[in-house]
Amino acid sequence: MEVNVSAESFESLVPGGELQEKFKKNHDIIFYRRQRDKAASQYFASFETLLLTDRGASLELCERDSQDRLCLQIRATQSGTVRVSLDELQPVKPRYHVSDVLLGELRYEPLRVNWKREDCVCLTWGLGQYKLLVSFSPFKLEISCDGEEIVTLNPENKLYFETLQDPTRSSSDSCQDDENRCGLWKETFRQFEDIKANGPSSVGMDLSLHGFKHTYGLPEHADTLVLKDTSVTEAYRLYNLDVFGYDINSRLGLYGSVPFLLAHKLERTAGVFWLNASETLVDVKYNPEPNEGEDEPPGKKSKISPQTDVRWISESGTIDCFILLGPTAAQVFSQYAQLTGYQALPPLFSLGYHQCRWNYEDEADVKAVDAGFDLHGIPYDVIWLDIEHTNGKRYFTWDSQLFPNPAELQHHLQKKNRKLVVISDPHIKIDPDWPLYCEAKEGGHFVKNREGVVYEGTCWPGESCYLDFSSSKTRSWYARQFSLSKYEGSTESLFVWNDMNEPSVFNGPEQTMPKDAVHHGGWEHRELHNLYGFYQHMATFEGLLTRSGGTERPFILSRSFFAGSQRLGAIWTGDNVATWEYLKISIPMLLSLSLTGIQFCGADVGGFVQDPDPELLVRWYQAGALQPFFRGHSAKMTKRREPWLFGDDVTSAIRSAVQDRYRLLPYWYTLFHQAHTSALPPIRPLWVEFPSDTSMFAVENQYMIGGALLVCPVTDPGVTEVKVLLPGSDELWYDTNMAAVHNGARTLDLPVTLNTVPVFQRGGTVVPRRAGCGSSTADLQQHPITLTVALDSKGNADGFLYLDDGHSFSYRDQMQFCLRRFTMRAGRLVNSCANDQGSFDSDDKVESVVILGLNSLKRKPKLKPGAPKTTVTFEFDAKRGDMR
């Protein structure tokens, strides 16, 4: 008998008053309370235990009261990263260490003793600019660079490491009952019981960031760009959860977790990466300068600088903390990418527009929507199918009534150079007559419960089992399911969407898998919960990569993620709501993701649930077109919202936004090449580009696309004017709509209509665009390149253009790529090779050049001497100050 969870019953599960009751708050999290309420611990070390090798230093710590002994490892890299690791010296059993997130074995520098005293030792590395002061009694670690103290670890003696215990230890019944009441070996939340096989195992440590008053990162939360002081709010919770219609301005954990925090101040950016995949809470406390905000005597300056205190608390695992010393934001991005990987270079089609709905009804519906885009002149590249396309929610199958000829449907789309994406979730329907279920069960590919029996939970198909992606054997088995011979009805133009992979379990605690479920190797789910979706993403990536014989770049969207997910594809911000508040919060959410390496990210355009009014829909398309991943998506309980269903004015405004996105794709693709090679995020908070302008540190309603374009999406209803901050006293900013030029370091009152998208090009930059857009990214090459040269106050400009075949790994394996640099100096525009290692034959041509900022024709722009002779016609508009 078929047992399905309907959309209506799902909707009743999650919105409204029950939403907050489903999920824990800080006071419900016992290990967090236990760590937070514990008095300061006293860990000591002795110089006699210090051991220096060519890979770093090790030292033993001992806790004064419990006599628990820990092994401390300190390692450092030449690029400016310090790794501090703590584990039990002699555990009763091994503790869980996160694997597969770091990029292989890191290269460490030898540490040297700079000087020593009875109570401390100073270690140094590199050219001597980096120093680590290790205090023995009590233990404290201070990290400095060029004489400036950056970070202190354990400044308040909050280091606390619960050592594993033997569950068969002898104890009285009353003592056991006492401990269970404290949640040490067993705890309950609502009707759910969690049995802890290893007893209490939490770890925690505090650190101080000196001189910093602004911190960022720790996604995913629907919250402000600058992290809040949690002494007056809930701590930031990193615990992947399926939160439908999530609250805004909340520190509740959402679909993914990246335990990476960045801090910024004048002249330095630093980062802290806490490599732990169990449930983690982070407290942030800002300690401003004394008397900040009060009148101080003239000329008097406080000797005490501000600092930010951060406390990390995880339920289990070890302490593995990386301090990234920068000093610039770009260096922090690079240091983090060297640890967890660079953003994958996406196939070009995936940077186009995606059309999705839960669910397009059948093949005729898909073809009708596809034809609608052509009829209304709106380009798009991908159409998506949700769970209803399958045979009873059995993934890797098709509903034979609704989608009888899936391969033919894909060929129909492929003729127009368009793709199909289908969903593949981690739960597998329990069906003894389904070969895939039987194969997974017989192969031992499912997560087990604490009794060692296959774990069963409820999701879309009803009763389901959950694949154990933490096992490499299971990942390989799952990857093989994507082969064309196994996945009947699939073709090379089919790509994949991993959803519900937090994992979502409708009848589980907090709507996820119980922490005492057991994975491959005997590890409890609590140890690796935040890695579950990362591992499914990895398996899917392997499947699509293998399907092409390793030649084609996969495209996979995942809802759940962890540090390192950027290597695998795209993510989105989950089940948002069609309101102005969700449109507004999507910007800081995506900026936070971008800062922490997850740079191919987006939010569902229009809002997943509820029905947007036409104005909101237009504004969301305009915003989405200026964000990395661009997908319209809506739930089945909402009204249809294809772009042409709201009248000509709305259709026209959406068409314009989408076409502008396609014309700008040469620039977007160049930025993703930059992210792939240098870790610079395609979208950036203003402070990244203007690190010395303190007024930019908290701006979250506008941002930079690369270093050239400043955008300020309209996120309020009915407005006729928006305020735009233009940074930099020495900067010039050109309105891309009007070509008017404005000086920086000012707030501009910009009139707007429904068709206005505030975008400004920074003086001193060159932005490549296509002269037209066609119906998909495959048509772009038919249109020549237009360069927009925006001159700075000295009449100079620079920019890049990256080209390759847009879909294969030939750019990497055979160096088939082209990176051009465009430079404007003294009225001369030069096109030069920026990387002579690449070679790529392309028919692309620069047909036109628009030069912004010419106030007079004192000197005509010239082509570089020796360039092929051609006829170039220039047209100067004195009023606009540009040349074409």
Q: Which tens digits make up the pLDDT trace of 481-497?
A: 999 999 999 999 999 99
Say what percent of the chain tops pLDDT 70: 91
Distance of CA 444 to the CA centre of its chain: 32
**Burial classification of residue 648, based on how many CB atoms lie within 10 Å of its CB (0-12 exposed, 13-18 middle, 19 or more buried):** exposed
b/e map of 597-606 (b: 16 or more CB within 10 Å)?
bbbbbbbbbb
pLDDT at position 785 over 80: yes
pLDDT value for 856: 46
- Confidence at residue 870, expressed as pLDDT on a 0 to 100 scale: 44
CA dist., res. 617 & res. 654, Å (int): 8
Q: pLDDT (tens digit, 9 = 90+) per residue, 646-669?
A: 999 999 999 999 999 999 999 999
Whether 858 has a pLDDT exceeding 80, the answer reads no
Q: Which helix (H) or strand (E) holds 115?
A: strand 112-116
Indicate the range of 7-16, 240-249, 504-513 predicted with least confidence.
7-16
- Asked whether the beta carbons of 737 and 698 are under 8 A apart, the reply is no
Report the helix count and the strand count for the chain, using DSSP H and E.
17, 49
Lowest-pLDDT choice from 505-509, 711-715, 734-738, 866-870: 866-870
Mean pLDDT of 401-426: 98
Cα(275)–Cα(273) distance, rounded to whole angstroms?
A: 6
Label residue 305 by pLDDT band (50, 70, 90): confident
Question: Quick check: 203 and 162 in contact, CB under 8 A?
Answer: yes
* Residue that is written with structure tokens 């750019």 in the block: 811
CA distance 13 to 276: 31
Scanning the structure block, which residue is given the tokens 């087990």? Answer: 448
Confidence bin at 702 (pLDDT 50/70/90) = very high
At 332, which amino acid appears?
V
pLDDT at 177: 57
Strands 160-161, 203-210: pairing is antiparallel
Among 18-27, 36-45, 722-731, the minimum mean pLDDT is found in: 18-27
**Cis amide leading into 156 (omega within 30):** no
Written in H, E and C, the secondary structure of 199-227 is CCCCEEEEEEEECCCEEEECCCCCCCCCC
Least confident span in 35-39, 449-453, 459-463: 35-39
The token pair that represents 314 in the structure block? 């995880």
Burial label, 98 (beta-carbon count in 10 A; 0-12, 13-18, 19+): buried
Separation CA 490–CA 413 (nearest Å): 13
Task: Please tell me the predicted confidence (pLDDT) of residue 518.
Answer: 98
Q: What are 95's two structure tokens?
A: 């503790």
Tell me the one-letter amino acid at 654: I
HEC-encoded secondary structure of 24-42: CCHHHCHHHHHHHHCCCCC
16 pLDDT higher than 50: no
Write down the pLDDT at residue 862: 53
Judged by DSSP in three states, 788 sits in strand
pLDDT(232) > 50: yes
Yes or no: say if 786 and 800 are a contact pair by the CB < 8 Å rule: no
What is residue 531's three-state secondary structure?
helix
* DSSP string computed for 663-720: HTHHHHHHHHHHHHHH---SEE-HHHH-TT-GGGTT--S-EEETTTEEE----STT-S
In this predicted model, what pLDDT tens digit does every residue of 791-844 receive, in sequence order?
999 999 999 999 999 999 999 999 999 999 999 999 999 999 999 999 998 889
User: What pLDDT band is residue 340 in, cutting at 50, 70 and 90?
Assistant: very high
pLDDT at 509 over 90: yes
User: Which residues have CB under 8 Å from 142's CB, separation 6+?
Assistant: 132, 133, 135, 149, 151, 152, 153
Q: What DSSP assignment string belongs to 385-407?
A: E-GGGSBTTBTT---TTT-S-HH
Please report, for residues 99, 285, 349, 593, 799, the alpha-carbon distance to residue 629 in angstroms, rounded to integers and kept in the order given: 28, 33, 11, 12, 23
Closest CA to 119 of 67, 203, 44: 44
Of 322, 315, 227, 251, which Cα lies nearest the Cα of 277? 315
Label residue 686 by pLDDT band (50, 70, 90): very high
* Phi, psi dihedral angles at 119 (to 5 degrees): -105, 0
User: 511: which DSSP letter?
Assistant: G
Q: Mean of the pLDDT values across residues 217-236?
A: 97
Residue 291 — pLDDT band, cuts 50, 70, 90?
low
The answer to whether residues 818 and 842 touch, using CB atoms and an 8 Å cutoff, is yes
Task: Report the 3 state secondary structure along 567-627.
Answer: HCCEEECCCCECCHHHHHHHHHHHHHHHHCCCCCEECCECCCECCCCHHHHHHHHHHHCCC
Alpha helices in 140-249 (DSSP H): 173-181
Beta-carbon-side half-sphere exposure of residue 521 (alpha carbons within 13 Å): 17
Cα distance between residue 104 and residue 597, in whole Å: 18
Q: 429-460: b or e for each residue (b if 16 or more CB lie within 10 Å)?
A: bbbeebebbeebeeeebbbbbbeeebbbbbbb
Task: Report the relative pairing of strands 570-572 and 601-602 from DSSP bridges.
Answer: parallel
Instruction: Report the 10 Å Cβ neighbour count for 305.
Output: 15
Is residue 872 very low, low, confident or very high in pLDDT (cuts 50, 70, 90)? very low
Least confident span in 237-251, 503-517, 713-727, 865-879: 865-879
The beta strands (E) that lie in 294-453 are given as 307-314, 319-324, 353-355, 382-385, 419-423, 427-429
Q: Out of 171-175, 512-516, 679-683, pick the least confident.
A: 171-175
For residue 312, pLDDT over 50 is answered with yes
pLDDT in tens, 131-152: 999 999 999 999 999 999 999 9
Asked whether residue 169 carries a pLDDT value surpassing 80, the answer given is no
* Structure token digits, residue 455: 């774990």
pLDDT tier, 183 (very low <50, low <70, confident <90, very high otherwise)? confident
Query: What average pLDDT is seen over the chain?
Result: 92
pLDDT of residue 636: 96
* pLDDT at res. 296: 52
Q: Is 801 exposed, middle or buried (0-12, 13-18, 19+ CB in 10 A)?
A: buried
> What domains does the chain contain, in order, with CATH numbers?
35-164+201-291+303-339 (2.60.40.1760)
User: Does 868 have pLDDT greater than 90?
Assistant: no
Which residues have a catalytic role annotated? Answer: 499, 502, 575
Give the mean model confidence (pLDDT) for residues 554-567: 98
Sheet containing 741-743: order of strands = 683-684, 703-705, 709-711, 759-762, 732-735, 741-743
pLDDT beyond 70 at 769: yes
**Residue 439, C-beta contacts closer than 8 angstroms, at least 6 positions apart:** 477
Report the side by side order of strands in the sheet with 427-429: 427-429, 462-466, 456-459
Does 645 score more than 70 pLDDT? Answer: yes
Banded pLDDT at 724 (limits 50, 70, 90): very high
Q: Which helix (H) or strand (E) holds 529?
A: none
Residue found by looking up tokens 């230890």 in the block: 169
Q: Which of 559, 581, 554 is nearest to 494 (CA)?
A: 554
Residue 863 has pLDDT above 60, yes or no: no
Q: What letter would DSSP give residue 104?
A: S
CA-closest candidate to residue 557, choices 618, 602, 591? 602
Judged against a pLDDT cut of 80, whether residue 524 lies above it is answered with yes
